[in-house]
Structure 1
Amino acid sequence: MQALSPELRAYAERVEEVATAFEADAYTWQGEIPWENLRLLADEGLYCPSIDEAYGGEGMSDLASVVLTEAVSRACPDTGWFVYTQSMVGPRAIDLFGSESVKEAYLPGVTAGEDHISIAISEPDAGSDVGNMTTTVEEEDGRLVCNGEKMWVGGVPFSDVAVTWVGFPEGLGSVVLPLDDPGIEVVEEYRNMAGYSQTQFSIDDVEIPTDHVLTRGEDGFKQQLVSLNWERLGSSTLAIGWAAAALERALAYADEREQFGQSLDEFQGIEWKLAEMYRELETAAGVVYNTAASADGHESAPSRLKTSVAKLHASQVAEEVISEAVQIVGARAYQQGHPLEYLYRLARGRRIAAGTDEMQLNTIARALKGDGVPKVSER
């Protein structure tokens, strides 16, 4: 695994120390935002590390956000989920592409642990196929007007705005959509497998202020794809954090549980399971951390190829490791309300959200066909 610098190692240790306060209420949030945990991280100067310092972040690299997300996810999976979305998804896009006025309006509340920003990409007829989106922004009498529909949007009840992918006349782009506009109507609220709220809403003649446009024009779509690299990287980090939490629980249970006159971890079959779980976790973590380390500085991003490999591998490893943890603990872990049962439901979503397994495979294959196998100097 990529070795952490002394600065990042010290940062990780601080996060781990603070995150111990989250353990008592972990697995109880039921899809609600653990605001008190986010505010504590913010008060300690640990939250949203890759957001610019001018807006309350630390101006650090994506590697710092990976460190934060993994450490917090191991202590409290729900806090980790919100850390990821606010450090590496919607607010990160505003930080890099937004106007000064939009950054000043929305980022300080996020970095203080007080506000939440959603991201809206999918539509009823456009999931992975973003080119088929029908949500548009067009100029009408000198105004920018948005119409369309979005679904599977997380965090809408907690958010004032959503970073929203749209089609401009000249191609794809993105805007900061005000969710309190009268033209926004909730069509349906869903609860996903993990109990998280997801919203489908329509957009009817919502005016978009010109300073709320993030990307448009010839380079707009390229910038959108770059922003997905952070999302894939963050999703990968969540996966390894949750897998590590499951392995820790399985290890502790196997040490405590006695059957046939000895603890479970004295049976070679269980020993091999634990060893294989760690091997998978360590390889996935190595891919994730090396991918994050390949991004040079605050405004750069790791490559689409690297983040697709990390997303695909970490998501599959998380499901496998958590499944084996359930197997070791047995019937208790299969009951609703058990931490491992919850982790399994959470982890299953990682193979869909931020790009399905199949989309990652397509991306990897196309990159290899176009550019070949990366050289040693390109690692």
Structure 2
Amino acid sequence: MTENNDRLAALSAAGVAVWLDDLSRDRINTGNLDGMRRQQSVVGVTTNPSIFANALAKGEAYAGQLADLATRKVTVDEAARSLTTFDVRAACDVLRPAFDASNGVDGRVSIEVDPRLAFDTAATVAEAKALWWAVDRENLFIKIPATVEGLPAISAVLAEGISVNVTLIFGLDRYKDVMDAFFTGLEAAKANGHDLSKIESVASFFVSRVDTEIDKRLDKLGSPEALALRGKAGVANARLAYQAYEEAFGTPRWQALADAGARPQRPLWASTGVKNPDYSDVLYVEELVAPGIVNTMPEATMRAFEDHGETRGDTITANYAESREVLDALAAIGVEYDDVIAVLEREGVEKFEVSWNELLATITSEMDKVG
């Protein structure tokens, strides 16, 4: 193992599960993903519509399957499901050793429900069940966005014994709602006779997008007080999310589920690629280390941490008061937290819808060439 790989191993030893926020058929076919599992401490993969749209737009790895789909004259929606579930199923198989080694905690691959369904509870549940059936791997996660309509869908899907990655969480109140939905889902799963120890969940709390939106507002204010707060909100918000996690999973309600075999819904730091070049490119890794979390990284962020990242132990739990002070300071100068969160959730769903439509357009175009 090289010195660079030692950096990721140290991060893992501190309690952070290292996941890759990317997937393509080339990664699977070339052995790249398996190499990252074996050599770089990667124990999970997350996908989203943007990742699939990008993968399909590059290379020839999908040409054969696209030709077959065109010959069969399937709909574009069916083609999208076939293409994406194929990749995710194969990635689940690549990561199966990590799944076995962690007793089912890691080795997980996430696939997202069609983002156009984000505000339709019943359709989200139906699509989640269809994806779970189509991929047919126990180390799968179904990604469901944490919209108001997504919350009951999360509970309903967990109640079926299906493991869930809750995505697009930006705000602390919504995160608390997500944990409540997790508890509700597990309670129903128990009542339905499911083995709770087989149901896993993560809650994907987005980080860098919070700084991007708040920094934009701070730049507009332009005062010294405002500019001094740039780049601080994302980390502070995530640290307070971990505080909420510790509180929720220290309750009698959780203890009753744990006694029945349930495992906690881990916080997952998403959107950890640093978007502002003025900030450290490993900011959202180094400053968000604590036991029992996941950090899903774009490859560039992972490579940066391999090169110069430092693991300094727990960088979260001693900083709750300081983090609260950051949010209080933002409120004092007129940055409205609730409005920021509402904008980010709306834009998050919209961006995934745009990417999904781009994916469908690319599939249509490629199938037309054959047909």
TM-score by length of 2: 0.28
Question: RCO greater where, 1 or 2, for CA within 8 Å and sep 6 or more?
Answer: 2
Q: Hey, which of these two has a bigger chunk of helix by percent?
A: 2
Q: Hey, which of these two has a bigger chunk of strand by percent?
A: 1
